[in-house]
Amino acid sequence: MNIPGHTAVPPARSGRWRGGEGPWAWWCAMAVALSLLMLGALLVLLMSRGLANFWPASVHQLTLADGSQVIGVPVETRQRPEDAGSERRYFTANRDASGGIWRWVNVEDIRQDSAPEDLVHIKRMRWSDFLGRLVAVNIDGRRFDGELAWQRLEERLDEIRQQRQLRRELEATQIIPLIRRLESSNGPESNHDPGSNSDDVRIHQQLAELQQQARDLQSGMTGAVLILETAEGRRLEQPLEEVDTVLRPNAMSAWQKVGRWSSGVWQYLSEGPRAANTAGGVWPAIFGTVLMVILMSILVTPFGVLAAVYLNEVAHQGRLTRLVRIGVRNLAGVPSIVYGVFGLGVFVYGIGGQLDEWFFAETLPSPTFGTGGLLWASLTLALLTLPVVIVATEEGLARIPMHQREGALALGATHLEMLTRVVLPMAMPAMLTGVILAVARAAGEVAPLMLVGVAKLAPQVPLDGEFPWLHLERKFMHLGYHIYDAAFHSSDVQAALPLIYATALLLVLVILVLNLTAIFLRHYLRTRHGAFARQ
């Protein structure tokens, strides 16, 4: 019933937008969904491309229209322009036999496509992989054929692996430290005769003995030769000591493949790189990245926290403080390469050069600290992330209620006691948030590192059993730079591509683990006494 002068309550505008929220909620939801989708797509791409590399793919034997034979692993198929059919790229390996390791084949030309179980996939130290057939094994002059060849081959390969490991340990733990000692006691510019120093003589003798041991181990690995046959029927002889693994992917069960895949992943994580960073593992790069980030956090946290405490708790809150605060916030936006240049000029050439003159004069002109190294890289990144820590800590300090500070003062605490016993413990989660942000930023930086200490190849990690254990002056490897190097500076990017994906995935995972560690630490600190009420 209509009352005169009153209009009926207007009907809810339904229909177009369910619930009457309007399009805004949907747009926001779509933005979130899109961001998540892109992130997910990135991770899926990295995982599928990176992890698939370690899976022993089946090897195909093709008979083409012209009668020729091809043995290879199919990689991709694409349409040729103007309906000219499609072509498929095969990884045919055998750089030593055929010159290239890729071959495009017209799909229409394939007359027969099979996967015989006797095809072998050999990963070698040089000349890339081998794909073909195993004819026989020649061990110390005795020839073995057929299944017996396989047995003997695998036994011998295990022995060689053990010897190779022994030699590697000998080099890393004894020979290289000795050489370093010689270098440090006897610089290239020093005039005195190396024989005049009895200590040096002893070291030289020791070194000669060790090197003889290493040579013995090396020669113990030789003697076995594989006789191989390529698709075209060419015979090759392959010394076994240059072989990493021998597989028959087509004969492997799914479980064997899983086993092979996991040992491949393990090798990738635990070994050093081979073949100019396009093959092998990334252990030194993982180690270098993590060590540098940890050092960076150790350097940046005290500086950032002290600066924030000064700005927020001690300084007179006037125009100058405000100006400094604006300056700090703006420093966070300076491009990282600028910090790299600063680090190179001030830390490496300035401070490092001076340190060399004072303490390492005997080894000049070869620099010790006057060149890029772990310490300078960590310091440069600490400088880069300092504003992040300051800003986060300051926000945490500002959030601590005034009555907590007054409570401490009212009990007879001095200003310093109030800060150290009440305010800083309460601001700890905020500081850790700052460190988390700093780690996230630092672990992904590559540009400044290229100027202040990252190396293309530094298989010796900067932490070892030799005094002083942590070698701050050494160059180190970094996952981010490893990606850049493999992607732009390797001779065959196609071959390195799977490893680039794997390394990218690993870099993301390393940052994730570093962040999660800090987040759990922060969570622990927050829940120990319950969150304090937000003001």
Partner 1 sequence: MARSRVNEAGELMSANRNSQDADIQRTRNGAIMDFPTTETSLDIKGLTLAYDGKQALRDLTLRIPRHRVTAFIGPSGCGKSTLLRALNRLHDLNESVTRQGSIHLEGHDIHDPRVAVAELRRRVGMVFQAPNPFPMSIYDNVAFGLRLQGGLSKRRIDDVVEWALKSAALWDEVKGRLRASAWSLSGGQQQRLVIARTLAVEPEVLLLDEPASALDPISTLKIEELIGNLKPHLTLVLVTHNMQQAARVSDYTAFLHDGELVEYGSTDTLFTHPRLRRTENYITGRMVG
By CB under 8 A, name the binding residues for partner 1.
316, 401, 403-414, 417, 421-422, 425-426, 528-530, 532
Nearer to partner 1, 41 or 411 (CB): 411
Enter the tokens of residue 23. 């399009």
| d(C-alpha 440, C-alpha 448), whole Å | 15
Does residue 228 contact residue 135 with C-beta atoms inside 8 Å? yes
Burial class (CB in 10 A: 0-12, 13-18, 19+), 140: exposed
- Nearest distance from residue 535's CB to partner 1, in Å? 10
- Nearest distance from residue 405's CB to partner 1, in Å? 8
- Nearest distance from residue 410's CB to partner 1, in Å? 4
- Nearest distance from residue 428's CB to partner 1, in Å? 10
CA angle, 74 then 78 then 79, to 5°: 145
- Nearest distance from residue 406's CB to partner 1, in Å? 6
| d(C-alpha 366, C-alpha 362), whole Å | 9
Give residue 56's identity as a one-letter amino acid code.
P
Nearer to partner 1, 18 or 529 (CB): 529
Sign of CA dihedral 461, 463, 469, 473: positive
The residues, ordered by sequence, that sit 6+ positions from 275 with a Cβ below 8 Å of its Cβ are 125, 126, 128
Nearer to partner 1, 11 or 530 (CB): 530
Nearer to partner 1, 78 or 322 (CB): 322
- Nearest distance from residue 305's CB to partner 1, in Å? 18
- Nearest distance from residue 214's CB to partner 1, in Å? 60
Determine the distance from the C-alpha atom of residue 405 to the mean position of all C-alpha atoms in its chain, rounded to a whole number.
Answer: 45
- Nearest distance from residue 421's CB to partner 1, in Å? 7
| d(C-alpha 520, C-alpha 525), whole Å | 9
Closest listed residue to residue 332, CA positions, set 300, 359, 298: 300
Does residue 503 contact residue 51 with C-beta atoms inside 8 Å? no
Nearer to partner 1, 344 or 408 (CB): 408
| d(C-alpha 237, C-alpha 228), whole Å | 6
The H or E element spanning position 144 is strand 142-145
| First-residue to last-residue Cα distance in the chain | 51
Nearer to partner 1, 142 or 529 (CB): 529
Nearer to partner 1, 325 or 478 (CB): 325
Preceding amide of 74 cis, omega within 30: no
Number of CB atoms found within 10 A of residue 425's CB:
14
Nearer to partner 1, 313 or 473 (CB): 313
- Nearest distance from residue 530's CB to partner 1, in Å? 4
- Nearest distance from residue 404's CB to partner 1, in Å? 6
- Nearest distance from residue 318's CB to partner 1, in Å? 9
| d(C-alpha 171, C-alpha 210), whole Å | 9
Does residue 523 contact residue 517 with C-beta atoms inside 8 Å? no
Nearer to partner 1, 413 or 440 (CB): 413
Looking only at the bridges linking them, the beta strands covering 224-229 and 273-274 are unpaired
- Adjacent-strand bridge partners of 73: 91
Nearer to partner 1, 195 or 412 (CB): 412
Nearer to partner 1, 99 or 530 (CB): 530
Preceding amide of 468 cis, omega within 30: yes
Enter the tokens of residue 490. 């390797």
- Nearest distance from residue 416's CB to partner 1, in Å? 10
Enter the tokens of residue 35. 């961001």
Nearer to partner 1, 69 or 527 (CB): 527
Which own/partner contact pairs does 80-88 have at CB distance under 8 Å and 24+ positions apart? Answer: none
Nearer to partner 1, 112 or 535 (CB): 535
Enter the tokens of residue 475. 């160059």
- Nearest distance from residue 394's CB to partner 1, in Å? 18
Closest listed residue to residue 122, CA positions, set 88, 73, 89: 73
